[in-house]
Structure 1
Amino acid sequence: MNNVNAILMVVAAMAAFSLEDMFIKHLSTSVSTGQILVVLGIACGLAFAVMAVVTRQRIFDPVAWQTLPLMRAATEAVAALSFITALSLIDLSTVAAVFQALPLVVTMGAALFLGEQVGWRRWSAIGVGFIGVLMIIRPGFVGFQPETLLVIISVVAIAARDLITRRLDARIASSVVALQAYLVVALAGAAFMVFNAQPVVPLQAAQIAPYVGAIGFGMLGYLGIVTAMRIGEASALTPFRYSRLLFSTMAGVLMFGERPDTMTLTGATLIIGSGLYTFIRERRLAHQIAVAA
């Protein structure tokens, strides 16, 4: 494990994802969600295919096309569809704040599906984190936006993706994993366009830069997070995912004039605080186990 390099990759990936989100939100004012997914999926998929060929990775290795890698790609499609739809409908800073619940959902998923031991303290922290999510979403109150539930769907799907990533065969190259994901994202976008009868918008000059930015930063972020998850310890990397909230909030304020209210900021603080407590608790338990061994 190389946690230092992995941590740097995670922070860089979070910055890249925030910039990708900013460009996607800009595009969503003139292009449908489905078309954005198709363009990003095809462009990034081709780029990762070239990368795999150049680095002499076996794209069609039977190991890479078994059930588990394909399940991972399917969760990626669900996550991308729900996340980009949410970006087009609500503030970038709100999407980023709810998205910070991801590490808590990963911890919960690891306990429920991977058999990892999670004590009452960490379960309590997860509960506090979800209270923070409710403060941001505000179901039943005047400020409730049903579209924020799409971010929850995306968080659950990405948590499933990350848990599956831990179980992938080490022989499968990261570029091939990314290629699979973007191919499925393109297919999901095309299906979404057909199902919702979304028209194809011809490329306009003003859209070229946002497309290039979304594709470029999306690729950098995706490759960074996949590589980081495979070379570093998940417990060590988790706290640095929260840097995405800072980057996204800055982008929302500077580019879209957003002003997160007190409830949103308080909810985000609860989510991050509970996530950091969970991380500290996991590290402490790991240290105790190592000492005992």
Structure 2
Amino acid sequence: MSVNLAGALLMMGSMAFFVLNDTMLKLTGGAVPLFQLLFVRSLITCGLILATKGRLGALHFNIARRDWVIIWVRAATEVMISYFFLTALFNMPLANLTAILQVVPLAVTLASAVILREAVGWRRSLAIAVGFCGVLLIVRPGAEGFNIWSIYALIAMIGVTIRDLVTRKLSPTVPSMTVTLVTAASVMTSAGLASLGTPWVAISAESWGLIVASAFCILGGYFFSIQVMRSGDVSFTAPFRYSGLVWALILGWFVFGEWPHVLTLVGASIVVATGVFSFYRERKLSI
């Protein structure tokens, strides 16, 4: 097996784990209040990371002050993403939400050009514009399918874009697992404090199973995503992140009986096509 093929399989595996995580949380069906759910899931995730004792990647805290600032900004952004993403997840079809998030690579490219002054040619600029038109087909402003949850999904997408941009500023020596642990701990702390304002409920055995499975899926997705960075050409493996949309369509149909509107499918196809083209152009220019 070539390293590029291995990288592609690992990328698809990571996307499968992330979508499975979303499915497990959505299956709780609101039986557990959001902040209590986030606290418990993050607590388990922190425990799993510490239990691995660095086997999934280096784990230490000897990090420069500049990088600590970036890590905490990233963690604060993740807290915001967790709230808006999960709220949207519980109130809209899984495939619709996943389709909206597929625009993140295009949004990161656009933000890199505007904020970081990175060079982006007219072809990729056109692809970004067309991709955002695809998002409009997914959310359909003014249509019956557009509601407050679509706005929550868009806010989550913006948050993920900011998070990815901030992450790019981290020094290469910063351990990924340390960043993950700090992020999970930040979400846990914030959710725990927010949950004090609402009554906690007893968690059923079924919900416990779903939450624990979700924590394992998050860790599995992260482990696979780490391995992707060590296998093959990133510009080759990156487009395979769109396999997450396929997983969302399959699980949304078989688990929740959801199938997106035809315009949503058309919009998602446009977003994926423009994203793949953008990766292709980036790879071609780097040769």
Normalization by structure 1: what TM-score? 0.88
| 1:146-161 correspondence runs (5 A) | 146-161=148-163
* CA distance in structure 1 between the partners assigned to 2:219 and 2:251 by the alignment: 19
**Which amino acid in the other structure matches residue 241 of structure 2?**
R
Kindly tell me the number of residue pairs found equivalent between the two proteins: 284
Closer/same/farther in 2, CA of residues 115 and 51 from structure 1, 3 Å limit: farther
Q: Is the 8 A contact 1:40 1:182 kept in 2?
A: no
Closer/same/farther in 2, CA of residues 55 and 283 from structure 1, 3 Å limit: closer
Deviations 1:38-79 (A, max 9, x none): 111111112212334668955332438621122222222222
The residue aligned with 2:81 is 79
Q: Is the 8 A contact 1:136 1:264 kept in 2?
A: yes
The residue aligned with 1:290 is none
Paired residue secondary structure (2:168)? helix
Report the Cα offset of residue 3 of structure 1.
Answer: 5.3
Instruction: Kindly indicate which of the two structures has a greater share of residues assigned to helix.
Output: 1
Q: Is the 8 A contact 1:51 1:175 kept in 2?
A: no
Report the Cα offset of residue 222 of structure 1.
Answer: 2.2
Report the Cα offset of residue 18 of structure 1.
Answer: 0.8
Gaps of 5+ in 2: none
Closer/same/farther in 2, CA of residues 164 and 232 from structure 1, 3 Å limit: farther
The residue aligned with 1:113 is 115
Closer/same/farther in 2, CA of residues 151 and 55 from structure 1, 3 Å limit: closer
The residue aligned with 1:11 is 12
Report the Cα offset of residue 273 of structure 1.
Answer: 1.1
The residue aligned with 2:210 is 210
The residue aligned with 1:280 is 280
Report the Cα offset of residue 22 of structure 1.
Answer: 0.4
Moved more, 210-219 or 54-63: 54-63
Paired residue secondary structure (2:119)? coil
Closer/same/farther in 2, CA of residues 139 and 56 from structure 1, 3 Å limit: closer
RMSD: 2.2
Report the Cα offset of residue 28 of structure 1.
Answer: 3.6
Paired residue secondary structure (1:89)? coil
| 1:48-87 correspondence runs (5 A) | 48-52=49-53, 57=58, 59-63=60-64, 66-87=68-89
**Which amino acid in the other structure matches residue 242 of structure 1?**
Y
Closer/same/farther in 2, CA of residues 150 and 62 from structure 1, 3 Å limit: same
Q: Is the 8 A contact 2:57 2:177 kept in 1?
A: no
Normalization by structure 2: what TM-score? 0.90
Deviations 1:155-198 (A, max 9, x none): 2222222223233223322221110110111123224434xx43
Deviations 1:253-292 (A, max 9, x none): 00000021111101101111111111111122222xxxxx
Closer/same/farther in 2, CA of residues 11 and 80 from structure 1, 3 Å limit: same
Moved more, 165-174 or 140-149: 165-174
Paired residue secondary structure (1:167)? coil
Closer/same/farther in 2, CA of residues 124 and 31 from structure 1, 3 Å limit: same
**Which amino acid in the other structure matches residue 111 of structure 1?**
A
Report the Cα offset of residue 229 of structure 1.
Answer: 4.6
* CA distance in structure 2 between the partners assigned to 1:75 and 1:226 by the alignment: 21
Percentage identity across aligned positions? 33
Q: Is the 8 A contact 1:75 1:157 kept in 2?
A: yes
Q: Is the 8 A contact 2:239 2:279 kept in 1?
A: yes
Report the Cα offset of residue 4 of structure 1.
Answer: 5.0
Closer/same/farther in 2, CA of residues 178 and 6 from structure 1, 3 Å limit: farther
* CA distance in structure 2 between the partners assigned to 1:227 and 1:166 by the alignment: 18
Query: Is the aligned partner of 1:39 residue 2:27?
Result: no
Report the Cα offset of residue 233 of structure 1.
Answer: 5.5
